[in-house]
């Protein structure tokens, strides 16, 4: 819990000193194992902290071995294993978060669609090095 206190304090400092428009949208819990007693206790502690500090827990993402596999393959789990609960949780989180994001003028962000080929192309750009990288492909709005 000390880490959460430190992060929260730094966010407040950044907001007061550098960016008064900075908004804390909330937090997500990842790699959560519902059957693990320690995880359950820790989640209860985080929920208590969140309530005291008006912090919203946006989503609890379950743990899955598919995350490591997707990372090794450099393909997001929502593409590599789209039917798993972890992929569903990440998709739901994205859908819930998007309406809360705004541009500098406070206008809601538009949804973007990214397909598997877009992700592969992006990841391959890192494999081949970043020198001379230019973004040519338009993201469909």
Instruction: Encode pLDDT of 16-68 as tens digits.
Output: 888 887 888 888 999 999 999 999 999 999 999 999 988 889 899 999 999 99
Residue 141 has pLDDT above 70, yes or no: no
Cα–Cα distances in Å, from 34 out to 41, 91, 106?
A: 10, 19, 37
Global pTM value: 0.66
């Amino acid at each position: 819990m000390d880490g959460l206190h430190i992060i929260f304090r730094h966010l407040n400092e950044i907001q007061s000193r550098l960016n008064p428009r900075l908004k804390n949208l909330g937090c997500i819990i990842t790699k959560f194992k519902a059957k693990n007693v320690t995880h359950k206790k820790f989640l209860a502690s985080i929920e208590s902290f969140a309530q005291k500090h008006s912090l919203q827990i946006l989503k609890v993402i379950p743990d899955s071995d598919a995350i490591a596999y997707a990372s090794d393959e450099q393909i997001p789990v929502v593409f590599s294993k789209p039917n798993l609960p972890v992929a569903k949780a990440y998709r739901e989180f994205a859908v819930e978060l998007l309406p809360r994001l705004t541009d500098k003028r406070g206008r809601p962000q538009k949804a973007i669609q990214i397909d598997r080929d877009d992700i592969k192309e992006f990841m391959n750009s890192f494999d081949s090095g970043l020198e001379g990288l230019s973004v040519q492909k338009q993201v469909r709005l």
